[in-house]
Structure 1
Amino acid sequence: MSLKKLDFLTIDQIQRIHGIASERHARGVLKKMEHYLASFREGKKYYYLNKEGRERIGCEKVRKKTLQAKHFIIRNEIYIAFGQPDTWKNEIKLGTKNTGHFICDAWFKVENQHYCVEADYTQKMSENRKKIDRYKKFRETGVFQKNYGHFPELIWITTTEYRRQQLKKMCDGLTCEVFTIADFK
């Protein structure tokens, strides 16, 4: 079910999500599931549901080998770090007609706090700036706050310290945390 929710996973993410202590044991579990899984190597091996796997668990979303897999993998680090929230949803549409709609990589709620997750793997900073500006415009409408009491906290995960600092500056005025992949290793 974790692959249904998270699209792509590495073996170490599977271990952490399911509490599997050894890589050897995790490989054994994956071997037993091989009829339902597909994988490819992009530095690490990435696993995802094949057609039989999707049919078996009722997953409608088709995933294939893609260059975007690393984007999903780093997004999943936030899911794991925040305790695998039950409320986690991928690719949620936000915004209004006036501000324009945009897709956040993931959304979740812990207690009464809402979070929007953005994964920055190879995105141009100009694109990140546009997305942050959309969040700011959306916050100014007050629509989310009216319905939920407060605007969601924005969580970014990126690849380098330099990119972290750039994102922090761009997010000025928003409640925001920026992590690097190294923060979770």
Structure 2
Amino acid sequence: MIQQEKKAQRHEQILLRLDELTYATRKQLQVIEKLGGDRNAHRILYQMEKDKTIASVRYEYKIYYLSNRGKDRIGSKQAELKKAWITHSLMRNDLYIRLGQPSDWRKEVPIAWGENKLIPDATYKRRGEFQFIEIDNTQSMQTNVGKIDKYKELSRVVFGQYKHTPTVIWYSLSEVRKGKLREACENAGVKYRIY
């Protein structure tokens, strides 16, 4: 009986995590949920797919997401998922893991000041300082430069209110785009890191 309760708790925790992550690979869930080795993680996720609480699509590897039954089970308010979000979500998850899985990580929370508004892909604090995450996947460089200009203004507001300069963390898979982001951030005087 205790074994069944533990299994149910682990499954529910994975469902809650998928609700936060939107999409995730087995490896990402293995690391974040500490599912042990490949065989154990595969067994757990296979059982959840069989129970129809999660579903998957196959690209280079399986990508998991909440099924309608899984959403109902945890009371998820997750909107209809779009396949166009997969790469973006997986990149954000990779960065979340790489940054040490910050406990205050929040995805896509709007920030408004004056007439301006930004929606970072994620936000967290590191040593009490704001860190804003931007995933550079498909948006145009012109859109990125516009965001950097807004981050320049937001940096002034944050400095005035919290007495620190926030960091914008970019994650891009293209060396060319990384160079352009670096140049745009330096020209705007925005504190940044690029992965």
Task: Tell whether the structures are fold-level matches, with TM greater than 0.5.
Answer: yes
Of the structure 1 ranges 73-82 and 33-42, higher mean CA displacement relative to structure 2 is found in 33-42
> Is the counterpart of residue 162 in structure 1 residue 176 in structure 2?
yes
| 1:95 maps to which of 112, 126, 133 | 112
> Is the counterpart of residue 25 in structure 1 residue 40 in structure 2?
yes
1:14-163 matched pairs, under 5 angstroms: 14-34=29-49, 35-98=52-115, 100-140=116-156, 142=157, 144-163=158-177
- Given residue 44 of structure 1, which amino acid in structure 2 is its aligned partner? Y
1:12 counterpart residue number: 27
Partners of 1:149 and 1:52 in 2: how far apart?
A: 46
Count how many residue pairs are aligned between Structure 1 and Structure 2.
176
Shift in Å, 1:20 = 3.1
Higher fraction of helix: 2
Partners of 1:30 and 1:72 in 2: how far apart?
A: 19
**Structure 1 segments unaligned to the other structure (5+ residues):** 180-185
Shift in Å, 1:88 = 0.7
Higher fraction of strand: 1
Contact 1:48 1:63 survives alignment (8 Å):
no
**Structure 2 segments unaligned to the other structure (5+ residues):** 1-15
**Helix, strand or coil for the counterpart of 2:83?**
coil
Provide the TM-score with structure 2 as the length reference: 0.83
Shift in Å, 1:102 = 1.8
- Given residue 93 of structure 2, which amino acid in structure 1 is its aligned partner? N
Contact 1:49 1:63 survives alignment (8 Å):
no
Partners of 2:58 and 2:147 in 1: how far apart?
A: 30
Partners of 1:122 and 1:47 in 2: how far apart?
A: 22
**Helix, strand or coil for the counterpart of 1:20?**
coil
**Helix, strand or coil for the counterpart of 1:104?**
coil
2:12 counterpart residue number: none
Shift in Å, 1:65 = 4.0
Q: Deviations over 1:74-122 (max 9, x none)?
A: 0111111122111011101123233x21211000113312211000112
Shift in Å, 1:37 = 0.7
Provide the TM-score with structure 1 as the length reference: 0.87
Partners of 1:13 and 1:102 in 2: how far apart?
A: 27
Contact 1:153 1:176 survives alignment (8 Å):
yes
Q: Deviations over 1:4-33 (max 9, x none)?
A: 211110111111212334322211110121
Change (3 A) 1:42 1:63: farther
Q: Deviations over 1:139-177 (max 9, x none)?
A: 23x2x2343332321111001222111111111111110
Change (3 A) 1:151 1:55: farther
2:3 counterpart residue number: none
Partners of 2:72 and 2:18 in 1: how far apart?
A: 13
